[in-house]
């Protein structure tokens, strides 16, 4: 199978108990195949310092990595100009998590939040501007 025949998407669902679930979906030309289902945990920005981040990239193709960088730069600009908050979906050693925060700065390897807290860019799945 050629890599161009596959794309990776993440669906976010809300179950009956009100928990947010995310499904990794592999879209192939022949149909849809579920990869896994995990519960997404919301965390406070103050707890980010205690999280462990593996070194591996969480995104699978160059296009989504470029889109993530663009979204991070836009979110950083909005945060600095207007104190605008964003929802960051990221993955640490325990699983996928979300945080609602303002991005203060971006480096080539991480984003910086209030009080020097940081999340490695390669561990960020998405950035949603509120």
**9 Rama sector, left if φ>0, alpha if ψ -120 to 50, beta otherwise:** beta
pLDDT tens by residue, 91-104:
999 999 999 999 99
Is residue 52 scored above 70 in pLDDT? yes
The predicted structure's pLDDT at residue 38: 55
The residue among 59, 67, 39 whose CA lies nearest residue 75 is: 67
Q: How far is CA 32 from the centre of its chain?
A: 22
How far apart, in whole angstroms, are the C-alpha atoms of residue 22 and residue 39? 7
On whether the pTM is more than 0.85, the answer is: no
pLDDT tens by residue, 21-30:
444 443 333 2
The predicted structure's pLDDT at residue 18: 45
Please tell me which residue, 8 or 110, carries the higher pLDDT value: 110
Dihedrals phi, psi of 87, to nearest 5 degrees: -100, 120
HSE at residue 74, side-chain half, CA atoms within 13 A, is 12
| Lowest pLDDT segment from 18-27, 46-55, 111-120 | 18-27
């Amino acid at each position: 199978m050629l890599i161009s025949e596959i794309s990776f998407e993440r669906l976010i669902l809300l179950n009956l108990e009100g928990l947010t679930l995310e499904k990794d979906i592999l879209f192939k030309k022949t149909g849809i195949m579920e990869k896994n289902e995990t519960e997404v945990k919301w965390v406070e920005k103050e707890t980010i310092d205690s999280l462990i981040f593996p070194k591996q990239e969480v995104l699978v193709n160059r296009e989504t990595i470029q889109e993530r960088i663009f979204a991070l730069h836009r979110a950083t600009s909005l945060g600095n100009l207007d104190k605008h908050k964003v929802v960051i979906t990221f993955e640490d050693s325990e699983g996928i998590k979300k945080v609602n925060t303002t991005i203060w700065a971006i480096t080539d390897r991480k984003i910086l939040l209030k009080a020097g807290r940081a999340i490695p860019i390669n561990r960020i799945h998405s950035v949603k501007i509120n």
